[in-house]
Amino acid sequence: MFKDEFFPSIRATLVTLLLTGLAYPLAVTGVALILLPNRARGSLVADEQGRVVGSELIAQPFAGGGYLQPRPSAAGEKGYDATSSGGSNLGATSKSLRERVEKEVRRLQQENGEARGPVPMELVTTSGSGLDPHLSPAAALWQAARIARARGVSPERVRAVIDANVEGRDLLVLGEPRVNVLLVNLALDRQFGRPPPLAGR
């Protein structure tokens, strides 16, 4: 009786593991590599020298006034840790969240003195993953004057680069128009050259 139950269950387990744990993932990966090779390899982005500088799908911090800055990140101890995706889990009544947002608002207002209107909410709040690589066009354009000043160009030229990199809704109806922070920053470097390094670096 033991053999009648044990060996069939072992066979069923092995067949299931082979099909769902090996054959199916390999088949899906193979199809993805054929149909969408760049996305299947992580949507990696290279600079003009061919060096991989990041992924379209994962946010990273940018230092210096000459670059578009992404949303803050709670992923990992220092943020922007792709191995530790997650939000802050702080609720609307959290004192820590309120203090952090107020501190971010003050910093952004100080760094973006020429910006028009209030600080966009997304620039002071983290995304659910902590790794959202996109901003709304409005949040990107809000930073244009600071970027222009740091690069020594007119704000209109920076706005033109941002406008040229706005991504539309997926399938024309899903999501909202957005800009990818990494792609815009690479476009700014191509258009105007790299900005001067930060003092002390």
d(CA 61, CA 85): 15
Cα angle for residues 47, 61, 55 (degrees, 5° grid): 45
- In the prediction, which pLDDT does 148 show? 97
H or E element in which residue 46 lies:
strand 44-46
- In the prediction, which pLDDT does 200 show? 46
pLDDT digits (tens, 9 = 90+) for 30-61: 999 999 888 888 899 998 888 999 999 999 99
- In the prediction, which pLDDT does 198 show? 60
d(CA 105, CA 102): 5
Taking Cα atoms as reference points, which of 72, 161, 69 lies closest to residue 115?
69
Burial grade of 90 (CB within 10 A; 0-12, 13-18, 19 or more): middle
One-letter amino acid for residue 40 of the chain? A
Dihedral angle over CA of 108, 85, 80, 49, nearest 10? -130
d(CA 18, CA 21): 5
Taking Cα atoms as reference points, which of 180, 172, 102, 101 lies closest to residue 136?
180
Stretches where the chain sits below pLDDT 50 are 200-201
Put residue 198 in one of left, alpha, beta given phi > 0 → left and psi -120 to 50 → alpha.
beta
Q: Which residue has the tokens 């230092």?
A: 63
- In the prediction, which pLDDT does 201 show? 45
Other CB atoms closer than 10 Å to residue 44's CB: what's the count? 13
Determine if the pTM surpasses 0.85. no
d(CA 96, CA 161): 36
